[in-house]
Amino acid sequence: MTQDIFSNSSQLTHLDSQGEAQMVDVSGKVVAVREAVATARVRMLPETFAAIQAGNAPKGDVLATARLAGIMAAKQTANLIPLCHPLPLQKITVDIKPDEQLPGYQIYGTVKTKAETGVEMEALTAVSVAALTLYDMAKALEKSIQIESISLVSKTGGKSGDYTNFRF
Residues recognised as catalytic? 136
Asked whether residue 122 is marked as a ligand-binding residue, the answer is yes
Q: Is 84 annotated as a binding residue?
A: yes
- What is the Cα–Cα distance from 69 to 76, expressed in whole angstroms? 11
Residue 14 in marked binding region: no
Tell whether residue 85 is among the known ligand binding residues.
Answer: yes
Question: Residues 96-108, buried b or exposed e (16+ Cβ, 10 A)?
Answer: beeeeebbbbbbb
- Helices 62-75 and 120-138: crossing angle in degrees, nearest 10, is 150
Ligand-binding annotation for 35, yes or no, is: no
Please report which helix (H) or strand (E) contains residue 77, including its range: helix 77-80
User: Cα separation of 9 and 60, whole Å?
Assistant: 49
Q: Which residues are annotated as a binding site for substrate?
A: 83-85, 121-122
Residue positions forming the annotated binding site: 83-85, 121-122
